[in-house]
Structure 1
């Protein structure tokens, strides 16, 4: 009798062990289906799916929370060519979103797509699919968005489309569909377009609420919102009632002549109308082509949102540094970014204005699949397209952990856009100056020193390895990595794109070197000056662009020099740093480096490599690893045991002239 409870307890214990198994499942069957699809469809090697890792980590693939099945497959603009093989994608039984747009896929949609019962969104636009309307798609009753536009589909639009009662968007424009539009009226349908097909007949009343542009450029559609449906031919002439004239032969000739005139008039009217329709069709088509070549524009406010269609195609060997080129007015990517989206993905992302910087406005863009990037919209660019592209090639090839990489760019006559990684921790300016006062978490000294070192390394890499002048060093262009408070420099090397090389002076107020006022040219030595101002900003906690004082207009470097000259050195430092004795020596060392950088005469300033070496060699004789270790301690616990035992430094009376 005692054995049964013992066995039950063992089974319960084993079940608990199984439930606690931390191994994350792998969507094995879906992975095989994806590999089968990719192996049978010619493509450029952009995806680089690694079979040795989980399919859930592949580019364009997203799984459910447990990684047991593929829910999203987005492969726009990756140069897929040919037909979709049967028994591949149709096996992704848990798929919710499928996007294969902007490729060169052809043929018909496989019948086994009807097995994708959970599909909600299908984007197949801008391909070369042909044949009849895919019957397998009309069986996917959970579809909310279906886009088959800009393909070569022909034949009628089937009445079975009415089975898709959850549709909110149906896009069939730019195909060869013919016949009448079926009467479909899903209650939630808010977007509909069948323009540029061969449809005829009256428009169903349920679709009359959509604009005329949704039905434009078809053979003979009529009814609201287009012109009313009227008889094409005029009513026949009434029979003659007058008695015949005296001369029968003349009467006969007149009757024949009247009939001929009527026939000729009708035929002439028909020919003229057809000719007018052809001319109107050609004019509208030409206009649409010209409009499609115009650039899209980013939103200009935080509330603007835009959506999911477009092209990001490749261009053969634009330059040696490009992994993905682009046709005219397309997004151009650089190698190593790992992104899979196109220009219209960007334009239709939710956009938030991050701020107006030195060379334009920056936006935080969150794409449909959750990817977040920063888009910089340049203004006042003064170079031609070829020069712009060559300069972007130089900047795009700069790779360093302390330099924010340029991932892509877009050029058109009216718009120039740059795409960067998004750094959620924000800028040094926000960390240093944001929300000062009670309740603020101050930026620890070890973290400030780490940021100074990272910024110096990034700038030295630009100077030495990239041979690029940054031209706009300031605290808002020093971005902080969230995981370790290392930093990287952004907005580098853009000055040559603008007239007179340097942007207007007010844009970099407080950081510019004295010689830039006269020459309007930035140099390696002017970068060193700006970095010196940045080091003084880290030490004083004061923003240089707010440091103009009184009638004398003293800037931050001159104010620091005046305080040091009066031997009030302790009064220079940020009050948030003056709580600890054990960092005074390091602060003085960094102050000396900063003062050397802001020498008035450029030749008296050190080279950037020398500045980096001085920062690396300062501290308590520690290596850089020791600096990183102390910074990690500060992140975890607020500075370590030494700091916890430190006592505040006695404050002196502040010198006149400079207030926080």
Structure 2
């Protein structure tokens, strides 16, 4: 009997030693005070180490990781709960609806090295508890509503390798962050101002865009400030006798006054002559004379795509042809019904909309009120004849979901393209803009309509037009008030930039098909891959060229989605902003299947664009309407010289 009691006591002590009792109580307190989705069911009868999202150390005596992404967590983090997990090393609460400010007692997590709070509704100042977590190596607070300044105290995090603060409302100047091991950094789409510190200038411009008043480093240089020099004292002239001019005679003073009056009279006569001459020239212009190129600057506004802000009219005025150059603005296709000339265009007020891989885009408002977009191309490497042939061929392509080229200008030093101006901005700015209060997120119906519109435009390029787009990305999907009329831009421009190698450099990072890097040549199938990445972007709300996805540096969007689906956490991939809409999960999963088929690593495994559009229309089931003028679309192969695929069924991934 005594031996049996001893065994029971021994079993009790062994069981107690293998269960993180205090951590278990803290987790239960957190879950009981935080609304959550039904999939989190921590059974009191089971060990805490076996609960969903909980990981323990080898001895099962302490919780070392808590991962609850997209778990439907709502409201503030209750104080006195997670702050009690003293052995916690990884905390991931991303893609929920947590709000308020993270509690101060998180500073008790002294061994924490990874903290992921992105894609929530946190607000207030930079959490004061975080700079005390000196062992942090990865910190992601992106896509929240944090405001105020970024504190200099982030330099206390001396082990940090990744810091992600984009898509918040941080303001003020950037602190000089001098952490030696920091390799990933992003503060884009905030309200920061001032110059970028030298310690952060090594990071690319994409890490800083979307801050209206930020300058220096990889962005445009800050406007120089030169204080007016103080006037140097001029000694009074001396008389020939060495005496001061204070002793000038009365005759000398009168002579100086008379001379000054004569000079003033001559200046007034010259000014009057200039005014009369200018008025005469203006009258001649009104009668059809030559129009001068004036430097005018329009209002400064937030960039629609990359957040660049400038109103330098001199940039467009520099496009004026040389004295002997008789080139002119040439309208192509229907020309959009415009009737202005080059000098009208150069005299328009200008605003920089964005600086992309093919050139800089300007919003130009002409004197009569017409607004167009002028794209100033860079690095054009073909002759004038080849340039004209390519642009005139593209100008003949007319489709409701393609942004047509209206006109072009070619000179030795300047090449311009003219497009319609779409005030609604790009898909990129509407999808990834600040998620603060006042922003209207894209709902599921609008995202599906935009996807269909872009797909129909691309299918028309691959079908009747037989043109490879070569540069598909969210910033090249431009929106109209009617989402069904969204339009693809910048298509078919790769040939004017010379050898095929330039295509690789201009294709957006994150959207680029794997084979393009090797073959240095875009094809219909590589366009399908890029479109699949675009669909994943709409589904996940994540930019494909984001520096860090799920806290794993170097993992691109398609591979990250595949890894999540493989672990049967399909709901985790979807944008948290879509979780508020009911009865759409089945459609999202079906579109995810199409997207994964498009991003297959083997080009021949990808469906053709006409098939992709048909599958998307099947998902909509007529609920979102049908396209007009697409009946003649045919399935297109990788090469224009090859026949169509002949109705081959696409390989669609199995249901995640």
> Relative contact order, CA 8 A, sep 6+: which one is greater?
2
Q: TM-score range by the shorter chain?
A: 0.3 to 0.5
Q: Which has the larger radius of gyration?
A: 1
TM-score by length of 1: 0.47
